[in-house]
Amino acid sequence: MINNPVYVTPEELAQQEAAMERIAALPNRPETYHIVTYGCQMNAHDSETLAGMLESMGMTEAQDRTQADLVLFNTCCVRDNAERRALGNVNWLKELKKDKPGLLIGVCGCMVQKPQMAEKILRQYRFIDLAFGTHNLHQIPSMLETLLTQKTRVVRVSDQENLIAEGLPQHRAVPYKGFITIMYGCNNYCSYCIVPYVRGRERSRRMDDILREAEGLLESGVQEIMLLGQNVNSYGDGEAETFPRLLRELDRLGVPRIRFMTSHPKDLSDGLIAAMAESVHVCNHLHLPVQSGSDEILHAMNRRYTRETYLERVSALRQAIPNIGLTTDLIVGFPGETDAQFQDTVSLVETVGYDSAFTFIYSAREGTAAAKLPGRLSAEVTGERIATLIRTLEAGAQKAHRSLIGTVEQVLVEGLSKRDEHMVSGKGRRGITVTFPGSAADIGTIQTVQITSSAVNTLRGERK
Ligand code: SAM
Ligand code: SF4
């Protein structure tokens, strides 16, 4: 389903820009900021945009939260523990504020967008100065101005779910990698998932805006672009094959490496597989969340594919791109999941042989369809199931990684190895971490590496 986005008007963007300039000139404004980010890469990229706006107001990034004049928590609410962790950490800052009364504390993102959450925050966390939802991110300049000039707590949670704000400044976490959000929100309503309720309706950016942003990143020297969205392969204006067309256009620009996530298996078309196979710069990696290997559970999850169609898509991918690395997301303990249904997930994982996976225990989210279902499983059962699943995944990954010994990988170096300062590590095009001898001078460059050994999660190699 296509929703027409509403673009934040140039007038409103100009007002926010003017607020940024006024804040930069304020004598009592925060000098330093620190953003704590929870959750997915969309959130990580939202934090880059928040940082960009704070820098445009004259602030600089503090090393940690104890050094900062403004601390922002960009929250997640996909699972209960992400929410609890965020609130626990916010509470910890209450003590810091006693010693540093001028400290400003803000919370934003998905958790704040939940119904009644902002009111709860105001009531229960009286030391929080600023709270805003996912649809208000672009308004941080005017919110901060109100906070600083009127000395009043500010809360903004809009229910306008189809907004897109173009052209906001960004402060990228690393110079060699650039994230581009190509679409926002989600319409899929998987029965367990809260994302459609807190991120709004699915809406896509204009292709020209995306290409212009990619050109800018390329000029600034990025080596890799990651396209982001909850369901990137349904990107577009309703016409068929818009996402493959976007990939081919980006490939033509000459960005050294292109990745994207997340893809929904139901929208993995032959056209997309062909675009991936034929584009020089698109990496041979696909994150393709399966969630479960049981048809009954997939149906109850409202995933709109079956085990058979998922496996057929995997075969089609491997036929077109033999060296493709596959990763996935899996949920154990969906309400009513029987042992036999769980075994279907184990056998699917054995059949596919993923390079790695994110595994989750089902967490009931108020307001979602699955939260009303009977058959919640005990922590003992879900604990055993997730341990079995992780063992199965590791066995498959070890096999897949061993098969890469002797091959050559192009590795984008991201840092020194944590265990050995004479080694560097980064990701190959297939998405697996590779370590090899090197120095800090290699960070941000792409190196050719021959794989010499493998472990569960990493590969080792020698520079060629
Ligand atoms: N849009 C992506 C997709 O469709 O795969 C992923 C979005 S979601 C933020 C990331 C992952 O969190 C999901 O793939 C799912 O495995 C997991 N997840 C979402 N809701 C969950 C819940 N209520 N309990 C446990 N895991 C959940
Ligand atoms: Fe959540 Fe499903 Fe949308 Fe992914 S596709 S964000 S799991 S509702």
pLDDT at 118: 87
Q: What is the pLDDT of residue 238?
A: 67
Question: In this predicted structure, what is the pLDDT of residue 310?
Answer: 98
Helix (H) or strand (E) holding 147: helix 140-150
DSSP string, 416-462: E-SS-TTEEEEE-TTS-EEEEE--GGGTT-EEEEEEEEE-SSEEEEE
Q: Is 331 in the pocket of ligand 1 (CB under 6 A)?
A: yes
Q: Alpha-carbon distance 383 to 406, whole Å? A: 37
- What pLDDT was estimated at residue 4? 83
Residue-level pLDDT at 456: 85
336: left (phi over 0), alpha (psi -120 to 50) or beta: left
Give the ligand whose atoms come closest to the C-alpha of residue 196: 2
Q: From the CB of 183, is ligand 2 less than 6 Å away?
A: no
Q: Output the pLDDT for position 101.
A: 87
Determine if ligand 1 sits within 6 Å of the CB of residue 230.
yes
pTM of the shown model: 0.96
Q: How many CB atoms lie within 10 A of CB 340?
A: 9
CA of residue 42 to ligand 2 center, whole Å: 13
Atom of ligand 1 nearest to the CA of 188: 4
Residue of 113, 331, 365, 393 to mutate, ligand 1, most atoms within 8 A of C-beta = 331
329: closest CA among 287, 294, 363? 287
Average pLDDT over the chain reads 95
Q: Which ligand is nearest to the CA of 192?
A: 1
**Dihedral of CA 170/45/210/174: which sign?**
positive
What ligand has the least distance to the C-alpha of 78?
1
SS3 283: coil
Between the alpha carbon of residue 77 and those of residues 123, 138, 215, 241, 361, the distances in Å are 19, 20, 33, 32, 14
- Interior CA angle at 164 toward 75 and 248, to 5°? 100
* CB-ligand 2 contact for 40 (6 Å cutoff): no
Residues of the chain with pLDDT under 70: 1-3, 238
**Distance, CA of 193 to CA of 276 (rounded, Å):** 28
